[in-house]
Amino acid sequence: MPYRSAITGRYLSKASAARHPKTSVHESSASNRDTGTHHRSAVSGRYVTAEATRRSPKNTVTEKPLTTGGVGRPALSAYPAGPVPDS
């Protein structure tokens, strides 16, 4: 299931994503996601700034890379957007 809820971060079915288009995101396989933290809007599907994430936390998804213990490329995980740490 390549859809995630922007509110809970859980995977969604295609039907559920169609019922809630403004709070669900189709996972991207973009190559710029393998390092750093990126924020995507559930409404437009575009990458947005951290400031936009602070303004609309229930409509954005924060994508953070997870390390795999040094083996291969980092695993990616999408978290629901919330307050972004200052660090």
User: What pTM value is reported for the model?
Assistant: 0.55
**Strand (E) or helix (H) holding 50:** helix 50-55
48 contacts: CB under 8 Å, gap ≥ 6? 39, 40, 41, 60
Residues belonging to the chain: 87
pLDDT in tens, 72-82: 554 555 555 55
pLDDT in tens, 31-48: 555 567 888 888 888 889
Closest by CA to 27, choosing from 53, 52, 55, 6, is 6
User: Residue 57 carries which side chain, given as an amino acid letter?
Assistant: P
